[in-house]
Amino acid sequence: MSTGEYRSDEVDEIVAAWRRERGDLDSSPLEIFSRLLRLNRHLEKFRREAFAAHGLDVWEFEMLSLLRRQGEPFQAQPSQFMNQLLVPSGTLTHRINSMVERGHAKRLQDERDRRIKYVQATDLGIAKSDRAMEDLLRSEAAMLAHISDEDKATVSRILREMLLPFSGADDR
């Protein structure tokens, strides 16, 4: 597609219908948010399928990814999962149990203070998450291949600006 060429999509039809039916409303936000919602649905499906190819659920990849980003020894306290992944305590316990049962993680206690608990990724968990990440990045790069580097940087900047108001302490 050449620069400046316009192709309509289903969101254009939705916005046009709202303008026709309720011209008194400013329906322009739909042009952005409806597209973001639709794109998110496609990305969620795509990621689910990509991680399943490596025997991982999306939540499990997210947890292993958090551990992997910690660097050696690939461990974190449960509170880090709750804060960074916005996972409630009960759900987290269930997920950790599942990861341990599947051999992707193990539980540890601090040697000096037995009250401090850790979750540590196993070699199997690290290997699976690394392969899943490699495939994900390769696939996502292919999805963006038709977009110029300048446009990708612009979209990234705009999305960052949109997310900043939600990046408070409660979201980390």
pLDDT of 25-81, one tens digit each? 999 999 999 999 999 998 998 899 889 999 999 999 999 999 999 999 999 988 888
In a domain, 72, yes or no: yes
pLDDT at 157: 96
Reported as half-sphere exposure (CB side, CA atoms, 13 A), residue 1 has a value of: 10
Interacting residues of 128 by C-beta distance below 8 A, sequence separation 6+: 54, 55, 56, 64, 104
Do both 25 and 66 map to the same domain? no
pTM of the model: 0.77
- Domain extent, residue 36, equals 9-52
What is the distance of C-alpha 87 from the center of its chain?
Answer: 13
Whole-angstrom distance, CA of residue 97 vs CA of residue 113: 22
Do both 67 and 123 map to the same domain? yes
Q: The tokens of 144 are what?
A: 């963006």
Express as a percent the part of the chain with pLDDT over 70: 95
Split into its structural domains, the chain has a count of 2
In a domain, 155, yes or no: yes
pLDDT of 99-118, one tens digit each? 999 999 999 987 888 788 89
DSSP symbol at 105: E
pLDDT of 142-152, one tens digit each? 989 999 999 99
Do both 152 and 87 map to the same domain? yes
Neighbours of 5 (CB within 10 A): 6
